[in-house]
Structure formats: C-alpha cells, structure tokens
C-alpha cells in the first residue's frame, strides 16, 4: 500500500496534469488556449485564465515558502501577479512556471516526514502540513472549474464575432 505522502503527491499530479476523477485537470483545460484567449476577460468581473494560472503558481509558492519556515502571507501582488504582455513566449513561461511549482511541491511532499503531516508548517498558519498539501489539490480543482467556464465563455464570445 502506498504511503500517505505518495497518495498526496499522486493527487497533486492528477489535479494539475490529468487523470483526476472529477474531470479535466488544469493543464488539460489549458491545452490549446492561445495567449490572447488566456489574457481575455470574457466574463465581466471574473479573472482571466492567465490570472488564474499565475495565482495557482503563487499558491504552490506559498506552501513551498512555508516548508522553508517562512510564515509570511502572500502580498496581494504575489497572490495575483500582474499579467505580462500577451505573447506566446510569456504564456509558455506562465504555464511552465505553474508546472515547475507543482513539480517542486510534489518533490517536497515526497521528501516530507510522514510523522509531521498533522503538525503546523509555520506558527503563522493554522493549517497542518496535510491540510496545506491537500489544499493545493483542492485549489487546483476549484480554479480548473473556473478555467472551464472561461473557456466556454470564450467559445461563445468567439462565435458571436
């Protein structure tokens, strides 16, 4: 039977890359999204796909920071970073950074001491390591749903042109 950490690492991979039971994972939804689509705001008042990708990467960064003992919360510009010019290179870089942050979190989870799962990572956060690790998967799934809705809105927007 796999360890709890191996199962968490597996769920982190599924939530981002695919094979999750709930439906399309983040990267499956991002497949084929052009920079201009990622940059667009087809739903008034909602974040863009690009903003969500940067925010997802920031959440991984927050947990990784806590694993290093740094309990600072994300500043607003860290939590929702500014979106750069909508070029293909910038879009690839944003998606690449998300992949890298997920991979770093998965490595950190795999190396984590299982007996510490129920302990706080830092005093500044009331959440155990387990809750933060699983929370990353929940966060990915939550925003994957938003990305799916944005893609539908973009398809309707493009069809109306």
Half-sphere exposure of 68 (CA within 13 A, CB side): 9
Give the CA count within 13 Å in the CB-facing half-sphere of 93: 8
Helices and strands (H and E) in the chain: how many: 7, 0
Q: Which domain holds residue 148?
A: 4-160
Identify whether the C-beta of residue 80 lies closer than 8 Å to the C-beta of residue 62.
no
Helices in 18-123 by DSSP H: which ranges? 26-30, 35-39, 49-67, 76-79, 88-111
Residues 92-116 pLDDT 10s: 999 999 999 999 999 999 999 999 9
Q: How confident is the model at residue 158 (pLDDT cuts 50, 70, 90)?
A: low
Query: Which of 80, 93, 101 shows the shortest CA–CA distance to 16?
Result: 101
CATH number at 134 reads 1.20.120.450
Residue 4 has pLDDT above 80, yes or no: yes
Domain count of the chain?
1
Distance between CA 44 and CA 100 in Å, rounded?
30
Among all chains, which residue has been given the structure tokens 């999204």? 33
Average pLDDT over residues 4-8: 97
């Amino acid at each position: 039977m796999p360890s709890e950490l191996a199962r968490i690492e597996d769920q982190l991979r599924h939530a981002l890359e695919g094979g999750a039971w709930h439906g399309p994972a983040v990267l499956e939804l991002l497949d084929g999204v052009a920079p201009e689509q990622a940059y667009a705001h087809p739903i008034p008042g909602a974040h863009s796909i690009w903003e969500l990708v940067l925010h997802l990467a920031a959440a991984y960064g927050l947990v990784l920071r806590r694993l290093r003992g740094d309990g600072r919360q994300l500043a607003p510009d860290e939590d929702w970073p500014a979106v750069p010019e909508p070029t293909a290179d910038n879009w690839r870089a944003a998606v690449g950074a998300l992949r890298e942050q997920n991979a770093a979190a998965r490595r950190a989870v795999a190396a984590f001491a299982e007996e510490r799962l129920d302990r706080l990572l830092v005093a500044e956060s009331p959440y155990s390591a387990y809750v933060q690790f699983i929370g990353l998967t929940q966060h990915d799934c939550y925003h994957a749903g938003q990305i799916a809705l944005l893609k539908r809105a973009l398809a309707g927007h493009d069809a109306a042109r």
